[in-house]
Amino acid sequence: MKYIFALFILICITLFNLSPFGFKILAGFDHAQGGTLVFVPNANELVAGNGAFTSPTATTPRTYQWLIHESQLTALVGKNLTAITYRLPTSATGPWPTTDVTYSDYDIYLSGSVSPENRSLAFAQNVVGTQTQVRSGQLFIPANSFTSGGNPNAFGLDITFNQPWLYSGGHLLIEMRHNGVSGTSSRSNDAITASGGPPYGTLVSGVWASGYSATSGYQGNFAILRISGESSGPNPNYGDNGQTGDNLYFFANSTAGASGSPSQPTYQWRTAGADSNTLIVNRTLATSLGTGTLDDGRFDIGGQLPAGHSIRFFGTNYSDFYVGTNGIVGFGTFTPGGGNWNPPNTGLPQGNITNALFPLWIDLNFGSVTGPATNRLWYEITPTEVIISYENAYVFGGIATTFVSFQVIISHSASPTQNSRVIYQYSEDLSGADFISRYNANTLRQHLSGLQGSRLT
């Protein structure tokens, strides 16, 4: 089964994972210290190129490499690279694309590079060191994301990476492979021509080929880039929230980037067992709500853990838990409506709902006739875990395929003295196409993933 990711919150210090789906986090685990934008070639930030090139936004499958001299990247040394984008040439007579389009595979790899003047037409021979895939899967591009009418034109939609990549200096190779797209025409990008002399061949160079899996190609113009970088902090795949003290949490995800963590989760989607308890099924209540509605409701689950067992959260033991329809699991009562259907703009910490887990705090509506006719919210208590599963959960205001499936798994034990382990995991197979497209395009309605104690996040 495909998956989005599993997120770990380990004992004593544990939390969750964000990766291939990579939900935006508004919580206290975002350690970015500020963004840096670098334009390549540097001299073309405000000056249009002398040519055009199609590969990055071609409608047919392409492989393309950008070779960039280290002198163009000094502002990015020591930073995590997080996105690239392009712009249309001044010859463009209208924006692109004219309608929403989705590349089913738009993959990007980063590595060290040979110097641009030593470029080979064999793709593998331009790679220096380890080549890392930083982006995979669909790329949704809304209509008119790349504008025209400027000189130069504005850069378009950021093509964000699934995982950041630390740039430590040296020549940089960016390799893109996509399988084409239908529903629009190919669009050339602003570029430096291969035949025009420097900076081509000294500071930059390019190689292209038809096909997703090409191994060698042809000299190509250099599509002008904007590269986004963020100050490096703790590893984005595992670490803590920068606070000190007892009874805190540590997080790790299930990706290769967290392999250096003391421990990390394994994705394992849970199916309901014979002892599972259904709260909502097919837009209908199966268990009485503590308060609220199918849209904004809360179920109060008390006295069901094995005798003497508790969930320990930020140093306090709890025997009861509260399941909200908007992706909230609390250890005290909370108001599910009254504005709490969305997280606050400021993210975490916040004062409305404390002592809670937020696997995906977003406005969901299990009763909507727009969403899937088959949906379910259930929980199960095993001898060692509490499993809470949100399945085919419709996002308020979306279309029929704007739905998501995710789970929370919380350990419990007899008189625990260490914080309970928490895992968040998200299923791509059980989530709708529009949700995935909006996620990839960063156009989902306001949401966050995280956790918060009474005072700490």
Q: How far, in Å, are 19, 31, 97, 269, 416 from residue 238 at the CA level?
A: 11, 12, 37, 21, 24
**pLDDT band, residue 235 (cuts 50/70/90):** low
Residue 135: what pLDDT? 96
pLDDT digits (tens, 9 = 90+) for 179-226: 999 888 889 999 999 999 999 999 999 999 999 999 999 999 999 999
Angstrom distance (rounded) from CA 345 to CA 329: 20
Instruction: Count other Cβ atoms within 10 Å, centred on residue 36.
Output: 16
* Cβ-proximal residues to 30 (8 Å cutoff; 6+ apart), any chain: none
Instruction: Count other Cβ atoms within 10 Å, centred on residue 42.
Output: 14
Instruction: Count other Cβ atoms within 10 Å, centred on residue 400.
Output: 15
pLDDT digits (tens, 9 = 90+) for 348-392: 888 899 999 999 999 999 999 999 999 999 999 999 999 999 999
- List 219's β-bridge partners, or say none: 207
Show the tokens assigned to 385: 């875990």
Residue type, 113: S
Mean pLDDT of 303-315: 96
Q: Is the pLDDT of residue 409 over 60?
A: yes
Residue type, 79: K
Angstrom distance (rounded) from CA 60 to CA 240: 43
Nearest partner of 318 among 420, 234, 403, judged by Cα: 420
Contact indicator for 57, 186 with CB cutoff of 8 Å? yes
Contact indicator for 47, 87 with CB cutoff of 8 Å? no
What's this model's pTM, rounded to 2 decimal places? 0.56
Instruction: Count other Cβ atoms within 10 Å, centred on residue 279.
Output: 22
CA 166 to chain centre: 17
Q: Which residue has the higher pLDDT, 201 or 27?
A: 201
Residue 34: what pLDDT? 44
Quote the strand ranges of 90-148, DSSP E. Answer: 101-103, 106-113, 127-135, 139-141
Q: Count of residues for the chain?
A: 457
Mean pLDDT of 96-107: 94
- The helix/strand/coil state of 123 is helix
Residue 93: what pLDDT? 94
